[in-house]
Structures are given as structure tokens and as C-alpha cells.
Amino acid sequence: MVERHLAKVDVVSSNLIARSISHHFGNGSNPSASAEKLSANFSLLFMFVWSKLSAEKWLDAWEERFAGNPNLVVEYVKGGRSIRLQLFCETEAQAQAVAKQFGGSIRKLAKADWQKPPAAPRPIKVRDAILLTAETGAPQIKALRKAHPQRTIISIPPEMAFGTGDHVTTSTCLRMLVDIARERKNSTWTVADLGAGTGVLAIAAKHLGAGETFACDFDPFAVSVAQRNAERNGTPDIVIKEQDVLKWKPRAKGYDVVLANIFSTVLIQAWPVIAQALARNGDLVVSGILATQAWDVFKAAAANGLGFTSVVTKGKWVTARGGHMTDLITKGNAR
């Protein structure tokens, strides 16, 4: 089985594919594993797809092998016991290079493939506060509210943008966000969601009591998805912009809570902007960090005056909560 030897496999070919494709779209600002960020407009570029079925237990290994490649899609099948990996390639030669390393099959994309909706992820419960669902129909949402009266039902259908809640980076961010909201109960707090994808974090923040909420993503398609989701979930007042976080100029007063579920490489470059965006005594939640890259990410954060008091590792992914180190030290001394 290829999966049992992934740690020793030479994956130069997949890295070459990631580099050859990335120049079309830039580095991106969201973790790619289990994300669908390919719009129908990309059909002119991506003509072949490599695919392979694997046991769900090997998901972390696959994600690590293809980390940084924005064209990998991971779909749960057979009730979540298995996953289907799909890598969209510009040429047949690129797809063949992956198949030579990992097995699997290759096919040429038909127009119908771009119009076929992806499979719905499983419902996600976040603490005792939120239920994420892919359902969009009014009868289904009503039934969920009746079955889960203590939870806020958030509908995020599986579209071609990252953040349906099924990936551990998103779900762990959501858990930390619930904790922050409870600590800030009966107060006014603002939010900035950087690399918003589907907008799920910003939407959840609003339902948890946040006031002014800003969300951005470098991908115009993701922005459109996030705007639709905000309307769908009764949070149309979220300000959602197309914005490269590295070029963003935050407002002077900053935001009380900053959420950034983005690639490690982008995080390292974005720390000066994030530090500026985080208000005094603010809460910072970051994810999209591979465990193998976490030390570099945290060192770069410290160089910009940011630190972390809670670090959660799920498989190969790291999520952390923190803030300005001066604030963290003050809070620690007050205990």
C-alpha cells in the first residue's frame, strides 16, 4: 500500500506540479487540503484530473504530501470511512507524474465535470453552540433547528471555496472562537477574518455575538461564495472584500478578534499586518499551519510581538490562540 510508505516517498513530481500551476493564481491564502477552489473559469487551464481512493485514516499523510498545492480536492465517501483524492492538472504529463508516484487513475475532464456539485460534508458540531450543515432547503434547516434547539444552525453548502467546517483547521478555529465569544459575552467586540474562504468563521462570529465584522479573501470566487453564505445565514452586514492580506492596510483602531486560517508561508509574511490589525487586548486565532512548519511560524510571530497561550495539534495541522505578547504578560501577572 502506497499510504504506508508516504513518509519515505520522493514527492518531487507533486511539488513540481504545485509550482508549475501556482503561477496562474499566486500562492493563495487558504489551506488547500480538502478544499475546492477551482471555478468553472479554470476549465480552460485544467484539463486532466488524477484521482485515487484511500482510507480516511491516511488523510493527514496525503495532506502533508500535497501541502501548498491549491488544486487538490479531498472528498469523503462511503460514510466518511474513505476519501477520494483528486488533483487537477494542466497537462496529461503532470497527471501521469503523480500517478507514477502514487498510483491511481487519470481522466480527461469533460464540461459536465465542472458543473457537477461536490459531495456534501458531514454535519459538524462545534462545542454545544453551533451545528454546521450543508443543507440549504428551508424544511431541512427547520428540522435541524427543531432537533438542535440549543445550537445555532449555520448552512455552508460545499462550493468551490475553502471552509465548510469539515477540515480540522476550520473546526478547531470555530471551537476557539466559541470560547472567545463566551469570554467576551455582554461586551461589544469586532472581528476580522483573513482568508475567509466560504466566510464560515465570520458568519459564526456574528451569530456568537460579534459586532462589526470584516472578512476578506484574495480569491474573487471565494468572496462571491462568502457573500452568498452571509445572506443565507442572516448575516448580510458582514463586510466582505476581495483583498490580498499582504497588501491590506488595517484600520488604525484594529479589531478585537482576528482570525487567520491561511497557509504558513503567507502567515509568516503577514505577521506585521496581523499585528497591526489586532487591537490592544485582542484575541488572535491562526491555523492552516503544518506541524512541521509551526516553529518557523511562531518564531516569525514573536518577532512581531505576537505570542500564543493555546496550541492545538490535530493530525498534521496546528491551530493556535494568542495575542500581543505585552497583553499576554499583563494578563499572566494579574492572575
Q: Residue 183 in contact with residue 145, Cβ under 8 Å?
A: no
Q: How far apart are CA 176 and CA 127, in angstroms?
A: 9
The per-residue pLDDT for 70 is 67
- CATH C-level class of 161-334: alpha beta
Q: Where are the domains of the chain?
A: 2-115, 161-334
Backbone angles phi, psi at 99, to 5 degrees: -60, -35
11 neighbors 69 (Cβ within 8 angstroms): no
H or E segment at 79? none
DSSP state of 247: G
Integer CA distances (angstroms), 237 to 115, 149, 153, 208, 215, in order? 30, 25, 18, 14, 11
Query: Could you tell me the CA-to-CA distances from 12 to 9, 16, 32 in Å, in that order?
Result: 9, 6, 18
The whole-number pLDDT of residue 47 equals: 83
Q: Please give the pLDDT value at position 10.
A: 26
The hierarchical CATH code for the domain 2-115 is 3.30.70
Strands 255-261 and 191-194: parallel
Task: Read off the pTM.
Answer: 0.71
- CA dist 81 and 84 (Å) reads 10
Which residues of the chain fall short of a pLDDT of 70?
1-46, 68, 70, 78-80, 111-122, 159-166, 333-335
